[in-house]
Homo-oligomer: A and B are copies of this chain.
Amino acid sequence: MTTDLTTSAPATGPPTLDEVALLAGVSRATVSRVVNESPKVSPEARVAVQAAIAQLRYVPNRMARSLVTRRTDTIALVLSEPNSQVFSDPFFASIVHGVSAALAETELTLVLLTARDAREQQKIARYARQGHVDGVVLMSLHSEDLLPDILTEAGVPLVLCGRPYDGRSVAYVDADNQGGARVATEHLIGLGRSRVAVLTGPMDMIAGVDRHAGWVAATTDAGRRPDPALVAHGDFTEAGGEAAMARLLDQAPDLDAVFVASDPMAVGALRALRAAGRRVPEDVAVVGFDDADVALTSDPPLTTVAQPLDVMTTELVELLGRQIDGRAEPAESRTCPTRLVRRASA
């Protein structure tokens, strides 16, 4: 009795391929060809099918399609980070923006997933393993994140946004954090500053480690000793930057320059500096990192290290696409050059 449904469907639920085929007077296969833009369809058939599709307001059922094609045309951008205020980080917003822009030209859809704890990480891992997405871009991982391992082991195409903490073999795209930090520090030294401090990010994030390492390298190269009193750790937030700057001022009252590992932190540092009565850049020169919007609107505007976000996000989806299509070298990665943007703060 369910059989004649195909011949006299009273439009129960959304229309199906068969109903379109019936209306257009062709076979299911032909409709499928039209939908998938196969060239092997006669113009007449195509027109008839398109008309039927329009009339029925037909939308293909992606689940059914995925079941056979093994593709979902969806990729996930996973933010694995316990601290939920990371959303407010302009760097994160820029990445989301860039990735979705890079995807705009394609048929791919971007879904954002957040994992604040191990439980949510598992949930996301399950989601990915169950075949909801073709691939994953993973952001902001701290040292012990489970996701890279789970996903890799499950065979889910994966590209990290940021170099993995341990040298595990996973594809990634990153800015040249160490190089950028080095150039920033060298710039400060070149300005004639003698006590160049650093305000780092969290040291369980590779970006924090690398930017710190760049400062150490530049300092050492200049024949100076990396004085621990010139180092303070922040958490990439504005409030954290303000607090860390205050500490730094305490540890090393004689500092005359500071490289800050992110622009939000630099804005906080600017505030702490002002509160302490130091003028920027006269008394203390400041260089930030990220070239976020705030770097332009801060007072004074920040000299900062710009990451080529558009290049990075393009590479990100490019690399992931290659993995999905199965034509990627193992753990192919990219490190993108940074650029010093000079403004008023240094």
Residues of A within 8 A of B (CB): 14, 59-64, 66-67, 72, 74, 76, 84-85, 87-90, 92-93, 96-97, 100, 104, 109-114, 116, 119-120, 123-124, 126-127, 129-132, 155, 239, 293, 297
Q: A61-B130, A85-B93, A88-B89 are in contact. List 19 more A-B contacts (CB 8 A).
A: A59-B129, A63-B72, A64-B67, A74-B127, A84-B93, A84-B96, A84-B97, A87-B87, A87-B96, A88-B90, A104-B119, A104-B120, A109-B113, A109-B123, A109-B127, A110-B113, A110-B114, A112-B113, A239-B297
CB-CB under 8 A for A61 and B112, given A87-B88, A90-B85: no
Complex-state Cα separation, A97 to B79, whole angstroms:
13
Pair A63/B67 contact, Cβ less than 8 Å: yes
CB-CB under 8 A for A131 and B63, given A85-B90, A87-B92: yes
Can you name 10 A-B pairs with beta carbons within 8 Å? A59-B129, A60-B130, A62-B130, A62-B132, A85-B93, A87-B88, A87-B93, A96-B114, A111-B113, A112-B112
The A interface is mostly helix, strand or loop, or mixed, namely helix
A97 (CB) vs chain B CBs: closest residue:
B84
Across-interface contacts of A72 in B (CB, < 8 A): 63
How many copies of this chain sit in the oligomeric assembly?
A: 2
Complex-state Cα separation, A127 to B72, whole angstroms:
11
Pair A100/B114 contact, Cβ less than 8 Å: yes
Complex-state Cα separation, A120 to B96, whole angstroms:
14
Complex-state Cα separation, A62 to B114, whole angstroms:
20
List 5 A-B pairs, minimum CB-CB distance, nearest first.
Answer: A112-B112, A87-B93, A62-B130, A111-B111, A63-B66
Minimum distance in angstroms from A150 CB to a CB of chain B: 11
Complex-state Cα separation, A97 to B88, whole angstroms:
12
A57 (CB) vs chain B CBs: closest residue:
B154
Minimum distance in angstroms from A135 CB to a CB of chain B: 15
Across-interface contacts of A85 in B (CB, < 8 A): 90, 93, 293
Across-interface contacts of A114 in B (CB, < 8 A): 96, 100, 110, 112
Across-interface contacts of A14 in B (CB, < 8 A): 155
Minimum distance in angstroms from A262 CB to a CB of chain B: 14
Complex-state Cα separation, A100 to B82, whole angstroms:
13
Across-interface contacts of A60 in B (CB, < 8 A): 130
Pair A112/B109 contact, Cβ less than 8 Å: no
Complex-state Cα separation, A89 to B84, whole angstroms:
12
Pair B61/A131 contact, Cβ less than 8 Å: yes
Complex-state Cα separation, A14 to B123, whole angstroms:
18
Pair A62/B93 contact, Cβ less than 8 Å: no
A85 (CB) vs chain B CBs: closest residue:
B93
CB-CB under 8 A for A126 and B59, given A113-B112, A114-B96: yes
A100 (CB) vs chain B CBs: closest residue:
B114
Across-interface contacts of A96 in B (CB, < 8 A): 84, 87, 114
Across-interface contacts of A130 in B (CB, < 8 A): 59-62
Complex-state Cα separation, A90 to B104, whole angstroms:
26
Across-interface contacts of A123 in B (CB, < 8 A): 109
Complex-state Cα separation, A116 to B155, whole angstroms:
32
Across-interface contacts of A87 in B (CB, < 8 A): 87-88, 92-93, 96
Minimum distance in angstroms from A45 CB to a CB of chain B: 24
A67 (CB) vs chain B CBs: closest residue:
B63
